A and B are shown apart, each in its own frame.
Chain A
Amino acid sequence: MERTSTGVPNEKMLMWAFIGSECMLFGSLIATYLAYRGRSIVGPYEEELLNIPFITVTTFVLLMSSLMMVLALSAVQRGDPRGSKLFLLLTALLGLVFLAGQVFEFNHFAHEGLGLGRNLFSGTFFLTTGFHGAHVTVGVIWLLTLWAMAMRGRLGPEKSLKVEVAGLYWHFVDVVWIVLFTVIYLMSGASGA
């Protein structure tokens, strides 16, 4: 393990700094979404389109992918190759299921006439959830790369920092969705929204 003045590995410090910057990026997107919420002057409107039962399932899938991620890190740290491969693959697969759900939802919205520039809701909704989806896509590619390393026997306990840093990114993507699920989907049912 490299020695650093803070006692924290540089990669981990860098990832937390990146996550901090991402907080402000998503904070701005959420602020924009909230500022324009309920101000569309042409339909279709959010209350006509948002499918809460469907998105609850995909939310649960993403939450469980976070569990698989911590179990993958534990497996790598204790030198369990079988567990490492299994949990990394499960994390990536659950991420892919979430992405498939998002593609399905976007397609459904498009069929209902909600294009990107249709109204204020569509612009802010697609921008915010699309940015999140792009982050999930990057995470899935990263996880599959780690899984390929594990399959070749190149992901022993000495490489656990790589998995820990990828895990930080993946959990952050999950945390962002926890907020988006509440703000975009569930708060659409608030009176006056």
Chain B
Amino acid sequence: MASEMAHGAEAGGLETAMTHGSHEEPHASSRTYIAIALVLGVLTALEVMVFYVEALSPVLVPILLVLSTAKFVLVVGFFMHLKYDTHILRGLFFGPLAIAVAIIVAMMALYGYFL
């Protein structure tokens, strides 16, 4: 199974897949995807490490927000190909996402989190 996985990954390693429709931007290669997955793993390990370091407790939330935002951007940009897609799709995603973030911030403000 491992050799099949390596074969599959290598086969796509030097090529670039094309997106659908008329927006013919190239996607990342399989090697890029594997590298991104490794970075995601490292960022997750960092998050957990930070959680256990007592000295970082006062700045835990900002550090975690930065790390999880980095993971979020990597998955959305590369795995979901939004980096290569049209601005219409970006608008369809980031518009509602901005509303969701506003809802969260508003609720936290209402419940006195920023006091």
Contacts and interface: CB of A to CB of B under 8 A. Distances in A.
28 contacts: A7-B86, A13-B88, A20-B95, A23-B99, A27-B97, A30-B104, A34-B107, A34-B108, A35-B110, A59-B44, A64-B37, A67-B34, A71-B5, A73-B17, A74-B27, A74-B30, A75-B8, A80-B11, A82-B8, A160-B20, A171-B75, A175-B75, A178-B72, A181-B44, A182-B47, A187-B64, A190-B60, A191-B58
Interface residues of A, number: 64
Contacts of A179: 68, 72
Interface of B: 1, 4-5, 7-9, 11-12, 15, 17-18, 20-23, 27, 30, 33-34, 36-37, 40-41, 44, 47-48, 50-51, 57-58, 60-61, 64-65, 67-68, 71-72, 75-76, 78-80, 85-86, 88-89, 92-93, 95-97, 99-101, 103-104, 106-108, 110-111, 113
Contact of B86 (A6, A19, A52, A86): A6
Interface in A84-117: 86-87, 90
A142 interface: no
Contacts of B21: 1, 4, 6-9, 12
A6 B48 CA distance: 42
Contacts of A27: 97, 99-101, 103-104
Interface of A: 1, 4, 6-9, 12-13, 16-17, 19-21, 23-24, 26-28, 30-32, 34-35, 52-53, 56, 59-60, 63-64, 66-67, 69-71, 73-75, 77-78, 80, 82-83, 86-87, 90, 160-161, 164, 167-168, 171-172, 174-175, 178-179, 181-182, 186-187, 189-191
Given A31-B107, A34-B113, A168-B80, A86 B60 contact: no
Contacts of A172: 80
A190 B75 contact: no
A23 B8 contact: no
Contacts, number: 189
Contacts of B37: 63-64, 66-67
Chain B contact residues: helix, strand, loop or mixed? helix
